[in-house]
């Protein structure tokens, strides 16, 4: 297979939230590569660190969160070494993010066309308002929204339209890397399917790399070329999508897949996942999944497994795959 170009190389990333009761290790020593042009699905149960990882890439971790270690190499340059001015010029232009809740990301007092003009002209003041409006109108055609809705305020649009607008704002500057954080969470299933179709369609039109964050494996299965599975702040499995759906290796991934109604696993031990994710202030020692794992062994309770290469393009953090 031809060597693929790496657009994003996350190394040993650590993001902490220091709260009254202790330190939450939201992202705990994570290594992850994203290849140019692919769609990478980042999945896991709620509070496993997906959004924190996504936001860390843009250096937008909310307070009291702090990136305390590691590297985020984008096009070979460490984003953690850039100053705020350099990050501002990268955001939107090279890397953009589609957030979960458009209502909190859009300014309720600003018309949609003004959002587009501002986004475009902040990065390129040479573009006139007229040109920016033309760009926005053409984007609305691609988003499947009538152009006259450009002059609406956010509250005048439906939830699905607002999410389309967010996608349009993320793509308007042809970002190389787009991070979509649960882009359909607040929508009903029909609108959700339309937004996923739209993302699929836009992915074919724009040469972007997409990181799609979701707790829902069913959603990610529609779009992803590869999957990265997170559990309790750690990355526990990385694999191309189809092999992972055919044969999930990490017991957590097996449990996650078995609990998705439309992705059926034959002969799996797990049907529903026992227990709940751990508290990230005092995570279990050894393998963090051990209190819930049906294959737990003595060493799992004491020693954390390394991230093991277990096949072509496949990695899993589990002692079951250690070669003796």
Residues that bind ligand SF4 (CB under 6 A): 251, 287, 289-290, 293, 295-297, 300, 305, 318-320
Which of 40, 47, 161, 178 binds ligand ATP (CB under 6 A)? It is 47
d(CA 111, CA 150) in angstroms, rounded, equals: 7
Which range touches ligand ATP (CB under 6 A), out of 17-25, 86-94, 171-179, 305-313? 17-25
The least distance separating ligand ATP from the CB of residue 17, rounded to whole angstroms, comes to: 4
Check residue 276 for interaction with ligand ATP (CB under 6 A): no
Q: Directed axis angle between helix 129-143 and helix 189-205, to 10°?
A: 120
Which range touches ligand ATP (CB under 6 A), out of 44-52, 113-121, 126-134, 306-314? 44-52
Which of 2, 21, 62, 108 binds ligand ATP (CB under 6 A)? It is 62
Number of Cβ within a 10 Å radius of residue 295 = 14
Nearer CB in complex with ligand SF4: 273/293: 293
Nearer CB in complex with ligand SF4: 68/297: 297
- Choose from ligand SF4, ligand ATP, none: what does 74 bind? Cβ within 5-8 Å by kind: none
CA 8 remoteness from chain centre: 13
Check residue 234 for interaction with ligand ATP (CB under 6 A): no
User: What is the b/e burial string over 189-201, where b = at least 16 CB atoms within 10 angstroms of the residue's CB?
Assistant: eebbebbbebbee
- Choose from ligand ATP, ligand SF4, none: what does 199 bind? Cβ within 5-8 Å by kind: none
Nearest CA to 26 out of 3, 2, 6, 55 is that of 55
Which range touches ligand ATP (CB under 6 A), out of 42-50, 67-75, 80-88, 128-136? 42-50
Check residue 44 for interaction with ligand ATP (CB under 6 A): yes
Nearer CB in complex with ligand SF4: 183/305: 305
CA 124 remoteness from chain centre: 27
The least distance separating ligand SF4 from the CB of residue 128, rounded to whole angstroms, comes to: 57
The least distance separating ligand ATP from the CB of residue 80, rounded to whole angstroms, comes to: 18
Which range touches ligand ATP (CB under 6 A), out of 1-9, 57-65, 243-251, 311-319? 57-65
- Choose from ligand ATP, ligand SF4, none: what does 47 bind? Cβ within 5-8 Å by kind: ligand ATP
Check residue 210 for interaction with ligand ATP (CB under 6 A): no
Residues in contact with ligand ATP by the rule CB under 6 A: 17, 19, 24, 26, 44, 46-52, 62, 64-65, 215, 280
């Amino acid at each position: 297979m031809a060597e693929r170009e790496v657009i994003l190389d996350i190394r040993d990333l650590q993001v902490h939230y220091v709260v009254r009761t202790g330190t939450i290790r939201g992202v705990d020593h994570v290594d992850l590569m994203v290849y140019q042009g692919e769609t990478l699905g980042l999945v896991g149960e709620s509070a496993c660190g997906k959004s924190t990882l996504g936001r860390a890439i843009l250096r937008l971790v909310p307070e009291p969160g702090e990136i305390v270690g590691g590297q985020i190499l984008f096009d070979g340059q460490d984003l953690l070494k850039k100053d705020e001015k350099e990050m501002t010029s990268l955001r939107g232009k090279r890397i953009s993010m589609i957030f979960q809740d458009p209502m909190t990301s859009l300014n309720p007092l600003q018309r949609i066309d003004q959002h587009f003009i501002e986004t475009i002209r902040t990065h390129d003041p040479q573009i006139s308002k007229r040109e920016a409006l033309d760009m926005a109108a053409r984007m609305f055609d691609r988003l499947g929204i009538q152009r006259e809705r450009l002059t609406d305020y956010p509250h005048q649009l439906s939830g699905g339209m607002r999410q389309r607008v967010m996608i349009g704002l993320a793509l308007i500057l042809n970002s190389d890397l787009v991070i979509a954080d649960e882009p359909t969470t607040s929508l009903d299933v029909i609108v959700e399917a339309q937004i996923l179709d739209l993302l699929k369609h836009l992915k074919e039109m724009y040469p972007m790399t997409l990181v799609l964050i979701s707790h829902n494996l069913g959603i990610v299965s529609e779009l992803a070329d590869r999957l990265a599975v997170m559990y309790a702040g750690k990355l526990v499995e990385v694999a191309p999508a189809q092999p992972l759906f055919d044969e999930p290796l990490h017991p957590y991934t097996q449990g996650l897949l078995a609990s998705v109604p439309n992705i059926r696993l034959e002969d799996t031990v797990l049907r529903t996942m026992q227990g709940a994710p751990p508290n990230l202030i005092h995570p279990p020692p050894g393998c963090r999944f051990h209190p819930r794992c049906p294959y737990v062994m003595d060493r799992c309770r004491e020693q954390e497994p390394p991230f093991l290469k277990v096949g072509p393009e496949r990695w899993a953090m589990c002692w079951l795959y250690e070669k003796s």
